[in-house]
Copies of this chain bind each other. A is one copy, B any other.
Amino acid sequence: MRTAITPTRAEHFSDWYHAAVLELAQHGDVAGSQVIKPYGFAVWERVQQYLDAEFKRTGHHNFYAPLLMNISALEQEAKHMDFAQECAVVTHSRLVKDPDGNLVPDRPLTNPVIIRPTSEAIIGPIVKGWIQSHRDLPMKLNQWANVVRWEMRTRLFLRSSEFLWQEGHTFHAAKEEAEQHAKEMLAVYEDIFVDVLAFSPLVGEKPEYERFAGADQTHTLELLMQDGRALQGGTSHNLGQNFSKAYEVQYSDQTGQLTHTFGTSFGVTTRLIGALVMTHGDDDGLRLPPKIAPHQVVILPINAHQSEAVLEKCQAIADQLSQMQYAGAPVRVHVDTRDMRGGEKSWDWIKKGVPIRIEIGPRDLEQDVMMVMARHQAHKQKTKVSSLEVASVVTMIDSVHKALYDSAQKKREEDTHQYENAKEVIDHFNSSSGFVVVPYLDGKGSEAQLKPHGLSVRCLRPCSQAKCVFTGENTLTLAVIAKAY
């Protein structure tokens, strides 16, 4: 059977990914950089819209902190630890032509600066000036930004030197309030993962050794890709007073006493687009959940250059559909009038993962029929309709979301395994993949037994009392173990 993507997922998952994701992005000229194509960026814009609306609903304000940071801002953090940060270091402020005609760096900076790899060390000193009294709290900030972490081995959306993200940073008067807020943002992410991205995330807490440096508690949403590897979809950190102490962020309470604020930070990145591809894609390419699909319906006039009437019919159906609503907004319909062969056009939209395609040719017009195809069903199943039942197309859009979600959930459930002892865990991964869930006591160094096998504890979840499969000690937590991206 012909498939649009070579190789198939089964043949070589990683090459399949690279072929499928090319609809959305490509590598840039500078090693490790990426270009997000218009179609891929339209997906990201919709993810942003859903997230941004939720951030605002939960009281956050967007702002913008600088791209560049003084190295001295990291010295506080680096003082008591081994420190090495892969990042872009700016050492000169001018480019000039040398006598040989080559462009060379000029005007060395007295104090080199770096491009932000994350913004805690930039935002701490800013917010210190914004918070004086308990009346200034809570302060809930977010920014949409680009960050750079120098990466040598890159993969589009999954690992790149520059990526786009949102970083939330909040400041609270009470410890419990910060704890609660980190959980609230985890729940915001989880809702959007399920309702918008059709993901089936497993939420939990990171074990100590996997926590963000400076966090007391890191909540995570772990996703299972179709090749059985885990991908961290987003994190929400309870920072306690760690950063507020490093940057002296204090407030005076009702009695006038100075106290350090309690903080959270949370973020998701363009990596989510990679997760969309690896969760929902099939051997014909992308399958996009309708809420973030740039077009929910694409209408393809077949051999339209022969018939003006076909084009008119297609446009009439498009007009009707865009009067309808899906998920609180007009249905997004696109009529593809490009001068291309019909088959080529269909495959183009199949690869691009458009939820619903409608095809109409001159013969269909005669019989007043159209072909309606949902992307999540085998592409040879066609539905004939004698007149446009607009409501049924909208229902079909919704069924695409449900089908993708169900399939992601089924995949995760089927690929989650439970074992009784450590040997079984290692044996499992010698021949298989997925999530392995076992009773686990954190903080005992058992991760050392996993690391040589390329495994990690993705998250911890509560359970009734059981014996840790590594230490034999009593524990109230389960570990979710996997190979991860």
Contacts and interface: CB of A to CB of B under 8 A. Distances in A.
Interface of A: 26, 28-30, 33-38, 40-42, 44-45, 61-75, 78-79, 82-97, 101-103, 105-107, 112-115, 122, 125-126, 129, 135, 141, 146, 148, 150, 161-162, 164, 338-340
Contacts of A106: 84
A448 to B, nearest CB: 26
B35 A67 contact: no
A185 B417 CA distance: 58
A64 B92 CA distance: 26
B88 A93 contact: yes
Contacts of A95: 71, 74, 83-85, 87, 89, 114
A66 B30 contact: yes
Contacts of A61: 38, 41-42
Closest A-B pairs by Cβ, 5 of them: A38-B61, A33-B66, A89-B92, A36-B64, A93-B150
A146 B42 contact: no
A69 B95 CA distance: 13
A338 B92 CA distance: 46
Contacts of A30: 66, 68-70, 113
A446 B126 CA distance: 48
B89 A93 contact: yes
Contacts of A114: 95
- Among A45, A82, A150, A339, max chain B CB count under 10 A is at A150
Given A30-B70, A34-B66, A68-B162, 6 more contacts: A30-B113, A36-B63, A67-B146, A78-B103, A83-B97, A84-B106
A70 B35 contact: no
26 contacts: A29-B70, A29-B73, A29-B122, A33-B66, A33-B67, A38-B141, A41-B61, A44-B64, A64-B164, A67-B148, A71-B103, A74-B95, A75-B102, A78-B97, A82-B97, A83-B97, A84-B94, A87-B93, A87-B95, A88-B90, A89-B90, A89-B93, A89-B95, A91-B92, A94-B150, A95-B114
A152 to B, nearest CB: 9
